Structure 1
């Protein structure tokens, strides 16, 4: 049985905490693991908000397929994607991911700026509020990362993620049907609920439900380790800690100092007592991206400049990283085209 991943737990909102020490702990965790648990005491995002978001997710994925299809995903990365639509590891996956997802882009005055199913109309404002809370927490974390890295100015990352500017940031609701259900009847032993991948943006917030296993990270020893929903010491918290991971762009910006760790969602993931993959799995992710026109120039940090793992480490964590200056949107489009082959191939065929 594989040993569970040992990922640090950090309380970024503890009363009287030394913020410099919190920032250092975040950077150290991101450099070593690429993942960190944020102890959630309800100061940034309340347990009630999280519970409500999962209730909305259950409503969404129980909506008739024909209603969801009216909102199918577009090249702006917004909308509903059905089973096998996304292939996160196209080089090795036999079929696309065994999951459904719905991606929410920006909201304006409590209203979505994209089509949403009619079943969600009563929840529209609360989804927008939850998305805004996720964005605010990400900017708080990005400021701490800037401080921990000694970036000059310290708000370098935070400023690049202004919510007032267009970006690729997405709130994603996810549903994974249980094994041996009609939706997964064709699955083989080596298939995955979500293929091995690194995330495309700067940082990701991941919310999960107690008892629902499946997430695994690839360790430096090239082995898969399960990631507990509630690591030791958090079992009695109002809600499970928020799992934060480094994405490709923050790795790219820091020459690989911060790790964009590869992870996946498996049908069978043992090693965590009280967790199982036998039931449907729900999760919610917020993918935080910088403003689309942001040029990914080297971060102004002495620690980053002195880091000597640079090129090899960056490519290990982010296979798309090359020593060129891209914009955030160029990087995102490169990754989306690899993951949504059917969407982009269909467009090519229609233009011939």
Structure 2
């Protein structure tokens, strides 16, 4: 468990770089983004092109779903392909420090392949589970539109990431990369429980995302914290406030691996302050067929590849297995 010293440091607020996607000087943006990824792996994105009306509609529809009786939500319980509803306490992302699961419930929506797609039976492109349209009219349409727009924003960010890694601007656009991505969107509702790190109670336990990048929309309820140095004793946690009309973006473990350890995927968590809180992250990875090998621009005679090449699908299943076994052992 964290010490009293660590607990007292939680009032710190982080200052993150802001990336303006309306800036036509992509190389200037790449310099800013690179520094952000070297420093913390977190940054804001503004002027991204998604309307506030769509974002507000997605949050309103999300709140309507979580306000349903548990019996109704359980009708779309998350299946073996990880699509659908996950009840409170189902996930425990930091078993060593948590006495019970996260104080949050979620609903996962992923990419759907066409009916004649050979990958349709794979976990990454299977059909979604949807609430009854008679209960929540327009819900599916709103979420599908939001998912599509959020993915578009991620693809724009990927162009800047490519330049920041000294790659061609379209490097990540190919069909085995973000041309056929794995992109899971999860609606989260954090219950109005007050977190207490000294007692192992968290809205969401400390973890790093395992994907390429995460695009996060959140309400104005404070809760997200980042730790830039996981090995520090005590760890220093800083709040990341929401900014109106901005997304919070962070890179994941896969991009850290892809960049040969150059970019940082860091620990983050959510502390509850007694208020209900809602967020919508989109977790993006390349195609399941993509080979994740240390980028040549991130290698040199000094910086040899730190990680062996691995297929994206193998990497994901490996991470799922690690998390599952970790939770069983604690």
Short-chain TM bin: 0.7 to 0.9
Residue number in structure 2 paired with 1:65: 70
Moved more, 287-296 or 17-26: 17-26
| Residue from 268, 286, 294 that aligns with 2:282 | 286
The 3 A distance-change label for structure 1 pair 342 and 197 is: closer
Residue number in structure 2 paired with 1:124: 140
Task: Confirm whether residue 28 of structure 1 aligns to residue 35 of structure 2.
Answer: yes
Cα RMSD, aligned residues only: 2.7
Residue number in structure 2 paired with 1:194: 204
Distance of 2:145 and 2:131 partners within structure 1: 18
Q: What SS is found at the alignment partner of 1:333?
A: helix
Q: After the TM superposition, which residues 140-155 of structure 1 pair with which residues of structure 2 at under 5 Å, given as runs?
A: 140-151=156-167, 153-155=168-170
Distance of 2:301 and 2:205 partners within structure 1: 30
TM-score, structure 1 as length reference: 0.78
For structure 1, list consecutive stretches of 5 or more residues without a partner in the other structure: 231-238, 268-276, 312-321, 346-352
How far the C-alpha of 1:25 sits from its partner, in A, is 1.2
The 3 A distance-change label for structure 1 pair 36 and 342 is: closer
Aligned residues: 302
The 3 A distance-change label for structure 1 pair 157 and 126 is: same
Residue number in structure 1 paired with 2:311: 327
Query: Is contact 1:253-1:297 (8 Å) kept?
Result: yes
Distance of 2:300 and 2:254 partners within structure 1: 19
Residue number in structure 1 paired with 2:155: 139
Q: After the TM superposition, which residues 104-253 of structure 1 pair with which residues of structure 2 at under 5 Å, given as runs?
A: 104-107=109-112, 113-118=127-132, 119-151=135-167, 153-159=168-174, 160-163=176-179, 165=180, 167-179=181-193, 189-210=199-220, 212-220=221-229, 221=232, 222-230=235-243, 239-253=244-258
Q: What SS is found at the alignment partner of 1:74?
A: coil
How far the C-alpha of 1:121 sits from its partner, in A, is 4.7
How far the C-alpha of 1:188 sits from its partner, in A, is 7.5
Q: What SS is found at the alignment partner of 1:331?
A: helix
Q: What SS is found at the alignment partner of 1:91?
A: coil
Q: What SS is found at the alignment partner of 2:269?
A: strand
For structure 2, list consecutive stretches of 5 or more residues without a partner in the other structure: 1-8, 115-125
Q: What SS is found at the alignment partner of 1:103?
A: strand
Query: Is contact 1:177-1:279 (8 Å) kept?
Result: yes
Query: Is contact 1:337-1:344 (8 Å) kept?
Result: no
Q: What SS is found at the alignment partner of 2:291?
A: coil
The 3 A distance-change label for structure 1 pair 307 and 202 is: farther
The 3 A distance-change label for structure 1 pair 98 and 87 is: same
Residue number in structure 2 paired with 1:336: 320
Residue number in structure 2 paired with 1:234: none
Distance of 1:61 and 1:310 partners within structure 2: 48
Query: Is contact 1:29-1:35 (8 Å) kept?
Result: yes
How far the C-alpha of 1:155 sits from its partner, in A, is 2.2
The 3 A distance-change label for structure 1 pair 129 and 102 is: same
| Residue from 54, 57, 64 that aligns with 1:52 | 57
Deviations 1:157-200 (A, max 9, x none): 2324334x3x53101100000026xxx9x997331111110001
Deviations 1:258-317 (A, max 9, x none): 1101100013xxxxxxxxx2210101100011101211112132xx11496788xxxxxx
Distance of 1:13 and 1:176 partners within structure 2: 32
Q: What SS is found at the alignment partner of 1:250?
A: helix
How far the C-alpha of 1:77 sits from its partner, in A, is 2.3
The 3 A distance-change label for structure 1 pair 5 and 297 is: same
How far the C-alpha of 1:215 sits from its partner, in A, is 0.6
The 3 A distance-change label for structure 1 pair 310 and 37 is: farther
